[in-house]
Structures are given as structure tokens and as C-alpha cells.
Chains A and B, each alone.
Chain A
Amino acid sequence: MTRRREAGEAVLDAYVALFLLYMFLPLGVMVIAAFNAYPDPSVTQWHGFTLHWFEALARDGRMLAGLRNSIFAALAVVALSLPIGLAAALLLTRLQSRARGFLYALMVSPILTPGIILGISTLVFWRNFGMAGGLLLAVLAQTSFIAAYCMLIFLARLQRFDATQVEAALDLGASQGLVFRRILVPFLAPSMATAAVVAFLQSFENYNTTVFSIGGDWTLVTEIGSRFRFGLTPAVNAIGVVFVVLTVAMAILHVHLGRRRRAHG
């Protein structure tokens, strides 16, 4: 019996290893090709180690402008999504009526909508007011669904909120504004940090919604996307290396923080 179980576990381990290979092998190929002194992205035509493609990337004006645009758009999305998400979560926790179910469905609907549709509907709607696609429209289109993620984060935290605190404060004569500032905001502070990080990353990484609403502007990700149409150079691989390094660092940090938080109760 135990021998069969051990065999089963060995098979599962082997399968996990295979799955991780499936996930990481392409990324490995992409990373190695970034250091190859060959004008086409390749690992099989090895012409020696070089850092040339990273230098080329650092001089790439469109990529750098795209990075600036991405950061600007992501900050704008955070600035819009956080208050909207918070307001929506507060509204939902207080609402008792049957409108609550309908509002909730409407609020999460952007999450269930394919990203390209959000970009298209924003583009079509604002054309009626003479606004063409651009960074601003991309921010509005992204906010439509990122605010829903923020709302869900706040809602989860508010479900653990002891409403009697508010009742007590109100009974003791505190104004509603004071209750909001001194009780709700401090209680929600950790969620605000989480929501801000989630909103920033969602916006920064977004492609589907952005590519349909960005018009003649570009973000880092849409610029990467447009490079595939024209000749590819290993500079794209160099960007890949930067993303891989940042992603690995974020994953390690996330798991480490999560474990520490659990260890401290």
C-alpha cells in the first residue's frame, strides 16, 4: 500500500517537473537569445556573448517613451480605481435592498467581459464626443475593469469589519466624516496598498483593452506588441530578460511576505 503511494507521489513529482519545464523552457530560450551576438533572435546560431542588445534597448526612444506612458497611465488608473473601488465596496456593504444583487452583477461584469470589448466600447463611445483613441481613453477603458478588482479587494476586507464600532462612534456623537477618517480608513489601509499594487500591475501589463483604445499613442506593452509586425531584433529579448528578472523578484517577495504574515498570525 505505502509502496503504491510512494510510486504515485513520484509520478506526481515527475509531472510537476514536466509542467514547470513547459512553463520555463520558452522563457529560458528567450533569455539566452538576448545575450547572443547575432542580429536575429536565436539560440541555435550562437555568435558569442554580448550585452549589445541591452545597450540598444537603453537607446530605444520609442520603448523609453512607452515606459513613461505606461507608468503615467498606471498611476492615473490607480488614482481613479482606488476611490471608485472603495466607494463601490462601501455602497455594497451598506445596501440591504434587492438592488444590491443587480449592482454587484453590474460591478463585476467588466471582469467577465473580454478585454478587447472594453477597449472597443470605450473607443466607440467617446468618438461621439469627438475624442479619438489615445492614452486618456486607454486609462478610462482600463479603469472600467480594474476598479472592479479594487472593489472586490475592499469588499473582502469590509466583510471582516465590525460594524458595531461605527454604531458606537456615531452614538457617542462622532460625525460620519470623522468615523470614515478615524475608523474606516485605518481599517482599510492594508487593502489600499494591495489594491494600488494590483491596479498598477494590471494597468502596466494590459494589452487587449489598451491596444484597441490607445489610438496613435503607445505604452511599453503595445510598443512590444507592434514590434512583431516588423523586423524583430534581440532588443525585444533584452526587454524579456528585464521582465523575467522583475517578475522573479516580485514572486519571491510575494511568497516571502505571505509566509512571514502567516508566521506572525
Chain B
Amino acid sequence: MREILRAFGGPLSLVIGTLVGFWLLILVAVPQVAMLDYSLWSQAANADLSAAIDRAYAEATMAEFDRRAEANPAKATELDEKLTALKRTIAELEAAQTSPPKTYGLQNYTRMSPLHAYIFVRTILSALAVAAVALVVCYPIAYAAAFAPTPRRAAILLTALLVPYAMNELLRVYAWLMIFDYRGVLNSLFAAVGLADLEARRWVPFLETQGALFTVMVSVYALFMVFPIMNTLQTLDPHQIEAARDLGASAWRIHARVVIPHAKPGIAVGVITVFMLAAGSFAVPQILSRGTGGDWFSQLVYRQFFEANNWNLGSAYAFSLLVVSLAIVFAMMRAFGVSLREITK
């Protein structure tokens, strides 16, 4: 604390502290706590309550009607009392409806249906698989980009890789939709050679396959694997590869013993990033299924919030996703032997 004051002085330290405090507390930490809190309680269903309110209102209207027609003063007072009592009941019921008692517990976590639990597990495993496939696909690309034979080639390749990297994710997914769609490019090609008939709706439902989802995810997230590996490989002295080759090492051995060990931090960053993007992916499954599918966990979370309107259950789903993906990220950091600082460089 004292070193901050010494370096920046009182007023500036106050500004720095306020900005960092606002960020870490109001924007980062407390919202996560609020989400956790939401996930830990539920409220009684309101259906019975609103039926009771409707009944009370109907009764009150009838009593008012009777009261207006009543000539006998004794009966009129009786009806007045009944009306006051009914009004009090209505007020109480309505208060209960706007804020029904909260029940704290783990019910939102234990309530996940077997189907949703299956989709959760499948999403996490698929995201791991996407990261693994992306690594295999992208490693040679990163190598080629880092050791391009001429600066001109390197610049052209870098530009070509930057375009899909910076291109809007939704539009990249949409471009794939045009290829895999029922009346898309692939099915039209199939139709041209007689393998499909678009008029008779006899086509290959690529969109409903896991293969299409996989192809698109790897394509959309591949560059997040290429660039970190490329960046670490650019710090590898090409003479080391030359030396290994001159000493008679095979290409396989050079990669296993020289290139890959050097690229390890980059590989770790790539694998972790692609896993996180895939596990939390919303645009890819959403667009490929035209907003109707529900086979990626993020879509189930979205539905709890905006279709079922159950924020408590939605928060529990979101928190489960957060905890499991963070646990996997930390396990990967352990496995790769990299620190948080290395992966956020």
C-alpha cells in the first residue's frame, strides 16, 4: 500500500483504487456472487396463489353487488364487514405473490434432468475433442507460418490467417450454414449427381449431425490455436532445427524433441482457449440449428433464462458450467506445467 502512495501520491492513488475497485467488485466479483446466490434458492410456484386471488376478487365483486342491492341495514353492515375482510385477504395474497418466500438449498443443482445432465457432459467432452482436433489440424499451420521461407511468404500467410481470425464469428458460422443447409451447397451438389432430390425433400440432413457441428467449431476456433503456437515458435532459433537435422535426427524426432517442447506454452494457451470457446459456444449451435436446437449446454442455459423464465435454475446451470470449465482449465495448466502468467501473456 505504501509503495502505491509513494509512487502516485494521494489523489492519483485514490483514482487508481476507485477504478480497480469498481472493476473487480462491481463488474467482476459481486455479479458472480449474485449469480451463485440466485442458483441457491427457489420460490414456490405461483399457479395456486393466482387462482386464490382470482377467487377472492370474484367473491368481492359479488359481495359488492349484493351490498348495493341490500336495503336491510343489519345485513348491509354484515356485507360491509365481509368486503373489508375480502380486501385484506386480497392484499395479503397479492403481497405473497409478488414476493413468495425463498427456499434456500441445492434444489436447483439436484433438479437437472437426466437429459440435461447428459447434454452437459456431452458438451464438455465435445469441447475437449474440438480442442484436441484443432491442435492436430493447426500445429502444422503454425509451424509453416513461423518458419516461412521468405519474409514475403510470411506476410502473405499471416494476412491470410488474420482474416478468418478477425472475421465476425456469427457470419463465419452463417457461411457454413449455407454449405450444410438442407438446400445448401453440399446437398445441391449431391442433387446434381442424383444422390439427393431437393424437390422431394430427400436430402442429407448435415445440420442435424454432430459432424457438421464439429467441422464448424474447429473451423471457427482454429485460429485461436494457430496464433499462440505460431508466436512461441517464432522465438525458436531455426538453427536449432538445422543442428538437429545435421546430427541426423528424423523430422518426427525433431518435432518431438525440439519444436514441440519449445511450443508447449503456446500449445497450452491454444488448447485452453479453444476449449473455453467451445464449451461456452453459443453462436455455433444456435445458428446451425436456426435457434431451435438444444444439444449444446449454452442453449439450455439460454432457454432457462429467456423461455422458461426460471432464473434460479438458469443460474445453477451457468454456475455449473463455469465451475467445471474452470476446473478443466486449471487441470490443463497443471498438465502443461504453465502458470497463469504464461497463458495470459
Check A94–B279 contact: CB distance below 8 A.
Answer: no
Contact A109 B28 (CB under 8 A): yes
Residues of A within 8 A of B336 (CB): none
CB distance from B210 to the nearest CB of A (A): 18
Interface residue? B110 (CB, 8 A)? no
**Contact between A121 and B290, CB atoms less than 8 A apart:** no
Q: Which segment of B30-38, B53-61, B65-73, B90-98 sits at the interface?
A: B30-38
Q: At the interface, is chain A mostly helix, strand, loop or mixed?
A: helix
| Best-surrounded residue of B28, B137, B179, B222 (most CB of chain A within 10 A) | B28
Q: Tell me the residues in window 305-320 of chain B with beta carbons closer than 8 Å to chain A beta carbons.
A: 305, 311, 314-315, 318
B174 near A228: Cβ-Cβ < 8 Å: yes
- Surface stretch bound by A, among B15-23, B44-52, B258-266: B15-23
Interface string of B154-170 (1 = CB under 8 A from A): 01011111111011111
Kindly list chain B residues whose C-beta atoms are within 8 Å of the C-beta of A106: 24, 28-29
A123 to B34, CA, bound (A): 10
Q: Are A143 and B167 in contact, with the CB atoms below 8 A?
A: no
Q: Given known contacts A30-B175, A128-B34, is B301 in contact with A116 (CB within 8 Å)?
A: yes
Contact (Cβ within 8 A) B178 A33: yes
**Does A172 lie at the interface of the complex (its beta carbon under 8 Å from any beta carbon of B)?**
no
Question: Is B341 on the interface with A (CB-CB < 8 A)?
Answer: yes
User: What chain A residues lie within 8 Å of B141 (beta carbons)?
Assistant: 15-16, 19
Complex: A140 Cα to B26 Cα, angstroms = 9
Contact A20 B160 (CB under 8 A): yes
Residue from A8, A117, A177, A224 in contact with B9 in the complex, judged by beta carbons closer than 8 Å: A177
Which residue from chain B places its CB closest to the CB of A254 in the assembled complex?
B162
A121 and B175 contact, Cβ closer than 8 Å, known pairs A105-B340, A113-B322: no
For residue B74, CB closer than 8 A to chain A, the reply is: no
> Is the pair B172, A26 in contact by a Cβ cutoff of 8 Å?
yes
Contact B166 A176 (CB under 8 A): no
List chain A positions with a Cβ less than 8 A from chain B. 8, 12-13, 15-16, 19-20, 22-27, 29-30, 33, 40-44, 83-84, 87-88, 90-91, 94-96, 103-117, 120-128, 140-141, 143-144, 147, 152, 156, 166, 175-177, 180, 201, 205, 207-208, 211-212, 221, 224-225, 228-229, 236, 239-240, 243-244, 247-248, 250-252, 254-255, 259
Q: Can you show 23 pairs from A to B with CB atoms below 8 A apart?
A: A8-B251, A16-B140, A26-B176, A29-B179, A84-B23, A95-B3, A95-B4, A106-B28, A112-B272, A112-B276, A116-B280, A116-B282, A117-B322, A124-B38, A143-B23, A147-B27, A175-B9, A221-B168, A224-B168, A225-B170, A240-B175, A247-B168, A255-B155
